[in-house]
Chains A and B, each alone.
Chain A
Amino acid sequence: MLGFKEIKNGLLVSLWFVFLTFPLMVVKVDPVERIVRWRWENSLYVAIGTFAVFLLVKIIIQRRSRNAAVDKEAEQKKESFIHRVLASPRQKFTLIALLLAVAIVFPLFSSSYQTNVMTTALMYVVLGLGLNIVVGMAGLLDLGYVAFYAVGAYSYALLNHHFDLGFWAVLPIGGGLAAIFGILLGFPVLRLRGDYLAIVTLGFGEIIRLVLENWSEFSKGPSGISNISRPGLFGIEFGLDGAIIYIYYLMIVFMIVTIFIVNRLQDSRLGRAWIALREDEIACQAMGIDKRKTKLVAFSLGAFWAGIIGVVFAAKTTFINPASFTFLESAIILAIVVLGGMGSIVGVIFGALILILLPEYLRALSEYRMLAFGAILVAMMVFRPQGLISNIRRTYHSDKKFPSPTQQ
């Protein structure tokens, strides 16, 4: 089991933690009585806690490595449970039908608050799927994705405010404008890769936000735009509760359409070109793929989804200001893609649901919820660095049979 070395390391680590947390946990200045309270007992708790956690992690890692050595096969099977379900058409159909049924009855049995939270989660699923085209498939690290989201939201807010255009009229305009901005961003960064691309896209995202914040004549600055109309349905206007449920169902439909389209894109000639671009740019070009066109299409298609969801966001909250489009949003959407599994559609859906719903339901833990959230993220990256559900490549079969030479 655990040797002397582990115990020694555990003691050292817990000492280090006691030292690190000393100012926070032990020293307490009481400004009223003007004295310093020394809470020495806390350092003992920290030491014991750290030591226990350290040993626990050590034991888990030991057991994992032993299991992996003994039974690698079983591990692999367990890992691909979701893949197996997806591989069998009947199980896949059952799963989808079940999820759809749950999704449809959900708002009937839950409060407006719950429905609202779920709508937000669905919006992030679509945002994640859009960014997945750029980051997951084409391998272009985009840290300014929220800019396109802002373009969509502001195009609805402004067109609604000035010209009284309705939700459905602006939906394609918002998506289209965002796609155009995607191309605008794409042109200057065609030659960039990796870190450099990330920096430029990050800058682009900030530029859009700062313009919205400071160009008051255009966007009303930080005070934002309010009284944006909610979406209607053939002239029917909904009350507050009705609108929440309506937008929820709308998002369900949008999500299904997005999954359908992204899935088809992934398995197409274009999708293969994106993945090839991610794998090796030079080889990709040498095989006759137009790098410039492929990249621009990835940027603009990815941005298109952000624009669409931006319009929905503006319609849902009826008020937007630049504070909703900070870098943190980009980071969360990127985290959804990375956590879910780069390039994997199912993974991104799970990633979005976890990353958006978890902080909401962790509210019970009140002030510790972000701490718990962070801990879960770190644990995720330690134990599953490839993401929740890694992508499986589609297999193709020929009409003819090609037996392996050894079997002949």
Chain B
Amino acid sequence: MMATPILQISGLTMDFGGIRALNRLDLEVHAGEIVALIGPNGAGKTTFFNCLTGIYTPTAGEILLTPPGSTKNVSLKGLKPNHVTEKGLARTFQNIRLFSQMTVLENVMIGRHCRTKAFILGAILRNAATRREERQIVEMSYAILDKVGLAHLANEFARNLPYGAQRRLEIARALATEPFLLLLDEPAAGMNPQETQELDRLIKEISTDGHSILLIEHDMKLVMSLSDRIFVMDYGKKIAQGKPSEIRSNPAVIKAYLGEDVDA
């Protein structure tokens, strides 16, 4: 028998008024896996991420998160985004959402927020515990920046980074929250081939560090190279799932992407 999946989604449904954006979606991610979610534009992939991370509350269905090495699961349904992050699930955004007026390092330091405690009194008194905590935040943020190759730019403004670096900074910021499951929403969008290659390496590295990854991506080369399993969505429904080799030859997937042959 396989271990319990760290993320188990069953019957996830999201309605916007009369439009059913997600239709009874089932999906699971096991510890250490890289799972890709693909599908044509408008298939509901980002809506799916937003439901998972608490930005939307799903109409129906269940989202269960089981931290690795634990048997107790928690339901993410209806939780606020910040509580979802506290549970160990962090995400990046399709359209980059960095804190552009803050430095690169501060962006990562924000990620440490939910794992640290200092509050008003700590900030004003700046006692030993607060100083120690600040020190740890800085050191850890530097270490994470070093991993994504941005440590030398730590004190630049985030808005001044080149595009590919901004994408990597988003990943660094998400990693700072200590997630065991990382959701990447089109991490390679707008990257040039060399940047995509670096990203491929980075994601594999993060995966070996023990993070499970669920990603949305349109770059098929990257998806095929990275993923252990692929889920394909269209019109809010799952139309296929399986290993990259199976997906490549799946007729339903080809139909969704290229359209149906019309016999005259």
Chain A interface (Cβ < 8 Å from any Cβ of B)? 261, 264-265, 268-273, 275-276, 278-280, 282-291, 297, 301, 393, 395-400, 402-405
Contacts and interface: CB of A to CB of B under 8 A. Distances in A.
Contacts of B173: 287
Nearest to A279: B99
A290 B82 contact: yes
A284 B109 CA distance: 12
A269 B119 CA distance: 7
B102 A288 contact: no
A269 B99 contact: no
Interface string B152-177: 11110100000000000000011011
B81 to A, nearest CB: 4
B99 A288 contact: no
A271 B123 contact: yes
Contact of B138 (A278, A284, A398): A398
Nearest to B85: A288
Contact of A272 (B113, B120, B126, B154): B113
Contacts of B119: 269-270
Nearest to B107: A276
A354 to B, nearest CB: 24
B139 A399 contact: yes
Contacts of B153: 404
B120 A297 contact: yes
DSSP majority for the B interface? helix
A270 B81 contact: no
Contacts of B208: none
B55 A282 contact: yes
B219 interface: no
A276 B102 contact: yes
A290 B54 CA distance: 13
Interface centre among A261, A280, A291 (most CB of B within 10 A): A280
Interface centre among A271, A279, A301, A396 (most CB of B within 10 A): A396
Contacts of A279: 98-102
Contacts of A276: 99, 102, 110, 113
Contacts of B63: none
9 contacts: A271-B123, A272-B106, A278-B101, A280-B98, A280-B99, A285-B82, A287-B113, A290-B82, A297-B120
Given A396-B155, A402-B152, A283 B116 contact: no
Contacts of B176: 287
Contact of A393 (B90, B98, B103, B113): B103
B72 interface: no
Interface in B117-166: 118-120, 122-124, 126, 130, 133-134, 137-139, 142, 145-146, 149, 151-155, 157
A285 B151 contact: no
B199 to A, nearest CB: 16
B139 A398 contact: yes
Given A393-B102, A396-B105, A398-B139, A289 B110 contact: yes
Interface centre among A268, A400, A404 (most CB of B within 10 A): A268
A278 B101 CA distance: 10
A302 to B, nearest CB: 12
A265 B118 CA distance: 11
A284 B82 CA distance: 8
Given A270-B119, A280-B97, A287 B85 contact: yes
A405 B152 contact: yes
A282 B97 contact: yes
Contacts of A269: 113, 116, 118-119, 122-123, 133-134, 137
B109 A272 contact: yes
Contact of A285 (B81, B101, B122, B139): B81
A268 B139 contact: no
Contacts of A282: 55, 81, 93, 97
Contact of B113 (A264, A278, A289): A289
Nearest to A283: B97
Interface in B164-201: 173-174, 176-177
B112 to A, nearest CB: 8
Contact of B103 (A286, A395, A403): A395
A285 B102 contact: no
Nearest to B99: A279
B114 interface: yes
A276 to B, nearest CB: 5
B120 A301 contact: yes
Contacts of A284: 99, 110
Contact of A402 (B103, B116, B146): B146
A251 B204 CA distance: 59
A357 B151 CA distance: 46
B101 A275 contact: yes
A112 B174 CA distance: 58
A288 B114 contact: yes
B124 to A, nearest CB: 5
B111 interface: yes
A202 B90 CA distance: 37
A395 B141 CA distance: 13
A276 B112 CA distance: 13
Contacts of B248: none
B177 A288 contact: yes
Nearest to A285: B81
